[in-house]
Structure 1
């Protein structure tokens, strides 16, 4: 399977509702699709979402990165997999989402070359998973309404976006908690919106009312490593790191400091599947569970995340792969079933997507 061409396409799809966090607002999906073609007609698909406020990448920079890497890949055979991966990561620094899109396409091809679903090629056995759903930040009544709608659709785990106003955040969480049955799990995501001191004060206020979320995700700035440890040492609510972890090196530092409880793996941050698997393995060494999340991507990238979750199901115990459910329409054909909170992998070889 000799690689003969790499081309790109832009994937666009409207969202059911605006996606609002303390960092950004998104009204429609606009992702880069990478299509890797081989001499025998085989095609691999990858995808990445430009997220300037998190990865620093725009659509233009992602396209430029792919164009830069292309000459180092075209002409190689998929059997030279390790060489191809090395070329992706050694020819340009950073650009993690662009690299991830390329890696996903190549893993799709690699699995097709051995005629297996990707999850099986990676050693996975689990096929059915449950994800949470994101409740965008907004006015309290709207967030309550969105939460109740999600529960009615079958979700039992809600990820609540907060972080623009500490006092209002407390009011939001209490109101949503009080509106839901006790069997509904809340995850909190402040998207770097608080200081370490604010985080402790807010979480103590919630804990005094017996509101202890499954975790608080990235409450402080990505580079505030000491802030994460400060929080963890003072609250009961488990602490999950997201934007603070792009690489295995980042995670090792936090884990050695005992600054976090959980690790959030995102392919767009880890530059693809390879380091995502390594990050799960590292977390297992420290006895720390992981969540796998997404960057508001479409079905191709989300599918890749589910395959990774299957490969490391013993350590990736939480899924935040709701992006497909947030779309008003599904712009990609897939044999993977996205049924609201339930995602089921298929036995089709590769990713199971048909762009």
Structure 2
């Protein structure tokens, strides 16, 4: 199976509600789809979401990166998988989401050539998972209402977006906590919106009210490594690093510093599946659990994340793969089956991508 052609397309879908964080507001999905075709007609699909404020990539830059990488891999045989992956990652620096979209398509092809679902090819056996649901940042009453609606749908873990106003953030969390029953788990995500000192003060204010979230995600700027350690040494609430970790090297530094409690793996940051698996293995050596998350991505990228979660189910114990549930329409089917918070993997070969 030699790679014959690489094409790109766009996946668009409206959201049920605007997606609002301290970094951005998004009202519709618009992702890049990478289509890799082999000489026997087999096709692999990958996907990536442009997220300029996190990865620095736009739709235009992703298209340009794919076009640049194409000559390095067209004509190679899918059985030369390691060489192909090396060509992708050495031909151009950074561009992690573009590389991830291309890697996902190649892993889809590789699994198809093996006649296996991707998770099985990666050594996974787990096929049932639970994800959280994101509560976008907004007025307190709206966030409380959205939280109650999510619980009514069957979600028992809510990821609360905060980070634009420290005092208001505390009020939001207290109001949501008081509105819910004690069986609901809260995850907090400030998306780099606080300073280290603010983080400690705000978390102490919550902890004094016996509100200890499952974790606080990336409260400080991505490059504020010392700030992460400062927070971890002073609060009870576990600390999860997201934007601070793109690579295994990034994670190793934080883990060796004992600056975090958990690692958030996202394929768009790790430049695809290969380094995501390596990041999980590194975390395992430090006995640190991982969450696998997503950008605002469609079914192809999210499916790839679920397959990775299956492959590393012993260390990836938390899922934040709700992006598909936020869409008002689903223009593509994959091997993942959603029932609100429940995600199941089917036995479809590869990623099971099928466009309606």
In structure 1, runs of 5+ residues without a counterpart are none
Could you tell me whether the CA contact under 8 Å between 2:44 and 2:109 is conserved in 1?
yes
Aligned to 1:214: 214
What SS is found at the alignment partner of 1:32?
strand
Could you tell me whether the CA contact under 8 Å between 2:303 and 2:351 is conserved in 1?
yes
- Structure 1 residue 103 corresponds to structure 2 residue 95: no
Could you tell me whether the CA contact under 8 Å between 2:303 and 2:335 is conserved in 1?
no
CA RMSD of aligned residues (A): 0.5
Q: 1: distance between equivalents of 2:123 and 2:304?
A: 14
Aligned to 1:78: 78
Q: 5 Å matches for 1:288-303?
A: 288-303=288-303
Q: 2: distance between equivalents of 1:234 and 1:91?
A: 43
Could you tell me whether the CA contact under 8 Å between 1:336 and 1:353 is conserved in 2?
no
Could you tell me whether the CA contact under 8 Å between 2:277 and 2:312 is conserved in 1?
yes
- Structure 1 residue 152 corresponds to structure 2 residue 159: no
In structure 2, runs of 5+ residues without a counterpart are none
- Structure 1 residue 325 corresponds to structure 2 residue 339: no
So what's the TM-score if we normalise by structure 2?
0.99
Q: 1: distance between equivalents of 2:312 and 2:61?
A: 31
Q: 1: distance between equivalents of 2:273 and 2:139?
A: 37
What SS is found at the alignment partner of 2:79?
helix
What do the CA deviations read for 1:331-355 (whole angstroms, capped 9, x no partner)? Answer: 1022421111011101111012213
Q: 2: distance between equivalents of 1:77 and 1:338?
A: 34
Aligned to 1:233: 233
What SS is found at the alignment partner of 2:229?
helix
Could you tell me whether the CA contact under 8 Å between 2:242 and 2:264 is conserved in 1?
yes
Could you tell me whether the CA contact under 8 Å between 2:247 and 2:270 is conserved in 1?
yes
So what's the TM-score if we normalise by structure 1?
1.00
Aligned to 2:280: 280
Equivalent residues, number: 355
Q: 2: distance between equivalents of 1:138 and 1:245?
A: 27
What do the CA deviations read for 1:96-126 (whole angstroms, capped 9, x no partner)? Answer: 0000000000000000001000000000000
Q: 5 Å matches for 1:3-18?
A: 3-18=3-18
Q: 2: distance between equivalents of 1:333 and 1:164?
A: 36
Q: 2: distance between equivalents of 1:11 and 1:339?
A: 22
What SS is found at the alignment partner of 1:13?
strand
Q: 1: distance between equivalents of 2:341 and 2:14?
A: 20
